[in-house]
Amino acid sequence: KNPLKAAVEKAADTLREPSDGPEEGVPGKPAARTPSLEQPTRPVEPLPPKADQTGPAEVSPTGQELSGDPAEAAQAGAHLTTAQGTRLYDTDHSLKAGERGPVLLQDHHLREKITHFDHERIPERVVHARGAAAHGVFVGYGTAGDVSRAAFLAEGVATPVFTRFSTVLGSRGSADTVRDTRGFAVKFYTDEGVFDLVGNNIPVFFIQDAIKFPDIIHAGKPHPDREIPQAQSAHDTFWDFVSLHTEATHHTLWNMSDRGIPRSYRMMEGFGVHTFRLVNAAGATTLAKFHWKPKLGVHSLLWEEAQVINGVDPDFHRRDLADAIEAGAHPQWELGLQTFPDTEDQMFEGIDLLDSTKIVPEELAPVQPVGVLTLNANVSNYFAETEQVAFHVGHLVPGIDVTDDPLVAGRLHSYLDTQISRLGGPNFAQLPINRPHVPVNDMLRDGRHQSAVHRGVAPYRPNSLDGGCPFLAGATEGAFVEAPVTVPEASKVRRAPASYDDHFSQPRLFWLSMTPVEREHIISAYTFELSKCYEQAVKERTLRVLANIDPVLCQEVATGLGLPAPEATVELGTPAPSPALSQLRGTWPGDGRVVGIVADADSDLAGVRTVREAALAAGMVPLVIAPTGGVLDPDGDPVTVQRSFTAARSVEFDAVLLAGVPAAGKDAYGARDARAARAAGAGAVPRGGTDPRVVLMLTEAFRHNKVVGGWGDVAAVLEQADVSPGGPGVVTGTDAGAVFDALAELLGAHRVWDRFPAGV
């Protein structure tokens, strides 16, 4: 007798349940299988359909109760354990043959600990690697009902959201305040499934067709030989590409404007970029562009500030977002729609709606608010949430569909594809941060990191074995049904329509819509970036591009580079400016603004307390800066010091105030600490003068056109920093409260624009 066959039969006897048919098996427990080398006489499959085919398992296959909270599985119980749940008595010493002997290979705890550590990192995102995120809620106004049936847009519907902001070019550990586009991706966990609005803070893109994406990114990323520069566009390959590929001109101009260096993620607009197709309850379609409008206004850094911050606090934007949320200054944005009739040509006022290098000026199609987003909670674990979140343009809900923009088509492929390699397989939707907040009943099975224990035997349709489940829904039951738009009859071609050839009219519109000071910043940004290029041909070609935007822009940059300015090769139009494109000429709330208060033990500490209280009441962040850390007036009413002179730099603050200097002629602000100041590299301290770090702080803040000043006898200190006490944006007086009120009013405009030579 074949010994193998005998062994199999013996095993089958022990495994077989008392009943010999699957129908009488224990519900929820797989019937015993008969291992056999031959076809069994009676089929053991199919298993009976289970009563609950969809709900999450309440017990694991081994009978352990599941709470559904994955954090609990990882961190339950008071004792340190191995990954297998066995308690440990020591995790600080390897198992050795004697105290000074060799480490033993049998130390399974050492091996588990180090092996897990070795695999802690996952590949960073190929673009948008550096990010910061927060949780929040979106509440619909109900104003979009005419154009979209999306349930989360209905009046008063509150939908949980997760928002991730990012830079594009830098690696995960790069600095925040580089000149770059910012990602603005929002995941809505709606009652109809997940909707992702994966946008940027710039409303146009470098390319019109996704097939060019690897080209622009390869050009923008560091040079492949030395891998420099990090997170910058100021290098030859970037300018080589964008000067040859002139459809990038519009996006590049936005990058060179103040939009490329936001003050805060809380102070950026967001744009869906593409035109989307909305579908209402009656099935009628409307084309639309999505806009996020920050309640705090759109504000930027100055380039020198941005560069200093990169060294002083590379996590500036990340910190700002987390601090503001923690302090209760919850940032808000209104979601708005620009809508256009869904015409056959997909054009609006001569603008091609399928060309993502074009905007539609808000003066032609106003942004209509449809809901409000509030970010109100920080992440608990950066890796689990911010790093593992997976956005995808194809995560759509009923009522929001895509158009034939060739850029969006490529994105619909790319996002899913990239998550598979980044998150190690196709089951990333099961990660807690990516899970929909509605029941999921797909027929996707197995794969790496599968954590669901699927039931039933028929993950296919049609089936009869699982009772025909799951069922299909119709449009009235919340199914996503593609809008049945007509596709024009055409031949296959690799070509773009003629309207895509216009690369300069909208950059010119943008330039003409800027205020003088914004134009000056654009000129300096181009001059800076091109000065970092080595290839003369790249600089000359870029100047030819600039000539097609505006002769003044071209001439000024050419002068900065020491090159002749070429003539335009296209006819320069005179489009009506779009004031909505400018960031200036408004006032906004001061929530989360950081006010530095310079004080020492001899300062007017009552005034410091007054200013702190007023700033906190106004939703601002007051930080006391003193010669050393610790507290001022420890024996009276102590004032905690948040920054010492050694650790503080002006770029951290939106405004700087000096807390009254008591006695005239006395050393101000810790000049007694001269040795410490010198050691910190602040230079020589004049006898009887103010600490040079305070002087630097004032000079720098003043140069960056921030509000500066103080109360009491501070004129002499201001003058040491070349700050004229009566000048614009310099607030002085005898009463601390009044000085703060003047400061708060000026902060509403973000900066003291009168101090810029070009003006607003």
- Within 37-96, the residues that bind ligand HDE by CB under 6 A are none
185 lies in the binding site for ligand HDE (CB under 6 A):
yes
273 lies in the binding site for ligand HDE (CB under 6 A):
yes
Task: Please check if 121 is assigned to a binding site.
Answer: no
**By C-beta, is 25 or 424 nearer to ligand HDE?**
424
Least separation in angstroms between CB 472 and ligand HDE: 30
- In this structure, what token pair is assigned to residue 411? 């994105």
Distance from C-alpha of 690 to C-alpha of 674, rounded to nearest angstrom: 9
Least separation in angstroms between CB 203 and ligand HDE: 9
Omega before residue 470 within 30° of 0, cis: yes
Question: CA nearest 95: which of 80, 110, 83?
Answer: 110
| Contact pattern from residue 307 through residue 336 relative to ligand HDE, giving x for each residue in contact according to CB under 6 A and a dash for the rest | ------------------------------
Distance from C-alpha of 654 to C-alpha of 667, rounded to nearest angstrom: 26
Member of 255, 257, 388, 414 binding ligand HDE (CB under 6 A): 414
By CB under 6 A, the count of residues binding ligand HDE is: 24
| Contact pattern from residue 142 through residue 171 relative to ligand HDE, giving x for each residue in contact according to CB under 6 A and a dash for the rest | ----------------------x-x-----
Least separation in angstroms between CB 743 and ligand HDE: 35
Distance from C-alpha of 166 to C-alpha of 176, rounded to nearest angstrom: 8
**By C-beta, is 417 or 745 nearer to ligand HDE?**
417
Member of 153, 194, 210, 584 binding ligand HDE (CB under 6 A): 210
Rounded to a whole number of angstroms, the CA Rg of the chain reads: 32
Active site includes 255? Answer: no
**By C-beta, is 162 or 653 nearer to ligand HDE?**
162
Least separation in angstroms between CB 451 and ligand HDE: 21
Least separation in angstroms between CB 170 and ligand HDE: 13
Distances from the Cα of 82 to the Cα of 88, 110, 426, 594, angstroms: 7, 10, 28, 45
Least separation in angstroms between CB 126 and ligand HDE: 5
Which residue is closest to ligand HDE by CB? 183
- In this structure, what token pair is assigned to residue 486? 């007509």
276 lies in the binding site for ligand HDE (CB under 6 A):
no
Pick the stretch among 64-72, 78-86, 198-206, 455-463 that binds ligand HDE (CB under 6 A): 198-206
232 lies in the binding site for ligand HDE (CB under 6 A):
no
Least separation in angstroms between CB 101 and ligand HDE: 48
198 lies in the binding site for ligand HDE (CB under 6 A):
yes
Task: Please check if 125 is assigned to a binding site.
Answer: yes
Member of 200, 232, 257, 275 binding ligand HDE (CB under 6 A): 200
Question: CA nearest 274: which of 103, 115, 404?
Answer: 404
Write down the catalytic residue from 200, 255, 378, 427: 200
Least separation in angstroms between CB 357 and ligand HDE: 10
- In this structure, what token pair is assigned to residue 529? 């970036």
Member of 299, 411, 455, 704 binding ligand HDE (CB under 6 A): 411
> Look-up: residue for tokens 């081994």?
62
CB 531 within 8 A of CB 523: no
CB 608 within 8 A of CB 736: yes
418 lies in the binding site for ligand HDE (CB under 6 A):
yes
Pick the stretch among 33-41, 411-419, 448-456, 671-679 that binds ligand HDE (CB under 6 A): 411-419
382 lies in the binding site for ligand HDE (CB under 6 A):
no
On the 0-12 / 13-18 / 19+ scale of CB atoms within 10 A, 194 is: buried
Distance from C-alpha of 87 to C-alpha of 82, rounded to nearest angstrom: 7
Least separation in angstroms between CB 196 and ligand HDE: 9
The H or E element that residue 408 is part of is helix 406-422
Task: Please check if 182 is assigned to a binding site.
Answer: no
Question: CA nearest 430: which of 56, 29, 28?
Answer: 56
CB 462 within 8 A of CB 468: yes
Write down the catalytic residue from 2, 116, 119, 128: 128
**By C-beta, is 264 or 414 nearer to ligand HDE?**
414
Member of 391, 428, 504, 669 binding ligand HDE (CB under 6 A): 391
Give helix 536-547 / helix 551-561 axis angle, nearest 10°. 160
AA letter at 285: T
**By C-beta, is 367 or 615 nearer to ligand HDE?**
367
- Within 596-615, the residues that bind ligand HDE by CB under 6 A are none
AA letter at 559: T
> Look-up: residue for tokens 């920093």?
721
Q: What are phi and psi of 111, to 5 degrees?
A: -65, -40
- In this structure, what token pair is assigned to residue 729? 């944006």
**By C-beta, is 193 or 394 nearer to ligand HDE?**
394
> Look-up: residue for tokens 């601390």?
736
Pick the stretch among 170-178, 407-415, 424-432, 567-575 that binds ligand HDE (CB under 6 A): 407-415
Active site includes 200? Answer: yes
Member of 136, 140, 183, 712 binding ligand HDE (CB under 6 A): 183
290 lies in the binding site for ligand HDE (CB under 6 A):
no
> Look-up: residue for tokens 């959201």?
161
CB 389 within 8 A of CB 133: yes
- Within 112-141, the residues that bind ligand HDE by CB under 6 A are 125-128, 131
- Beta-carbon count within 10 A of 15 CB: 11
Least separation in angstroms between CB 209 and ligand HDE: 8
Distances from the Cα of 533 to the Cα of 405, 548, 557, 675, angstroms: 33, 21, 14, 42
Distances from the Cα of 352 to the Cα of 242, 287, 348, 507, angstroms: 21, 12, 7, 15
Distance from C-alpha of 222 to C-alpha of 202, rounded to nearest angstrom: 22
DSSP 488: P
- Opening angle at CA 28, ends 24 and 31, nearest 5: 50
**By C-beta, is 392 or 643 nearer to ligand HDE?**
392
Distance from C-alpha of 527 to C-alpha of 522, rounded to nearest angstrom: 9
Least separation in angstroms between CB 185 and ligand HDE: 4
Task: Please check if 213 is assigned to a binding site.
Answer: yes
Distance from C-alpha of 237 to C-alpha of 532, rounded to nearest angstrom: 11
379 lies in the binding site for ligand HDE (CB under 6 A):
no
Distance from C-alpha of 177 to C-alpha of 316, rounded to nearest angstrom: 7
- In this structure, what token pair is assigned to residue 460? 């296919």
**By C-beta, is 169 or 538 nearer to ligand HDE?**
169
CA-based end-to-end distance of the chain = 98
Pick the stretch among 115-123, 410-418, 453-461, 612-620 that binds ligand HDE (CB under 6 A): 410-418
Question: Which residues lie near ligand HDE (CB under 6 A)?
Answer: 125-128, 131, 164, 166, 183, 185, 198-200, 205, 210, 213, 273, 391, 407, 410-411, 414-415, 418-419
| Residues that constitute the known binding site | 125, 164, 213, 411, 415, 422
Cite the active site residues: 128, 200
| Residues that constitute the known binding site for heme | 125, 164, 213, 411, 415, 422
